[in-house]
Amino acid sequence: ALTLSVLVALYPDYFVGYEIVGVIKEVGVDDAGLVEFQHEYFRFPLYRDRSYAFYRALGDRKVGLAILWNPLSLVSLMCDAYQRLRAKEIGGTTKGEGLVQGGILVFRGTEPRAMYQEQTGFDVPAVDIVSALQAIRKEA
């Protein structure tokens, strides 16, 4: 979310004509954290996906069981995530189930035109997102 927010701030022209909306799956688990998320890292509207339609469109994926069953992989993943968050000065909580993976969907009108599936342990590929926006714009 922070990477996308920074992209919009640095390159607003790429995002002209696109509406940015965050999709969340739950409320009532860590509402204070959700408010902090929107205030500090993602200042765009949030939509609660009660039906999980967007998550299904992104493949209905969860963090792999192989990672959860392998203690060394799990510890390594957690340490890497902690270091990335710390380097970006991002706070966080461990509330919520935390296994469902999201991503980014880019629509042209009501048609999905591009997708990025979240990969645990990796940042959003900013160049790929901007390239997708440019390609979709050229289709018009």
Residue-by-residue pLDDT tens, the chain, 140 positions: 788 888 899 989 988 888 888 888 877 777 888 888 888 888 888 888 889 898 888 888 877 655 566 667 666 766 676 676 677 666 655 555 567 777 888 888 888 888 888 877 778 888 898 999 999 989 86
pTM to 2 decimals? 0.67
pLDDT of residue 93: 57
Alpha carbons 55 and 62: distance in angstroms, whole number: 10
Residue range of the domain that includes 77: 2-139
Alpha carbons 34 and 18: distance in angstroms, whole number: 23
What's the domain count of the chain? 1
Alpha carbons 71 and 89: distance in angstroms, whole number: 26
pLDDT of residue 105: 86
β-partners of residue 22 are 46
pLDDT of residue 42: 83
Ranges of H-type helices in the chain: 2-10, 31-36, 53-57, 65-69, 71-87, 126-139
Alpha carbons 14 and 121: distance in angstroms, whole number: 26
pLDDT of residue 131: 92
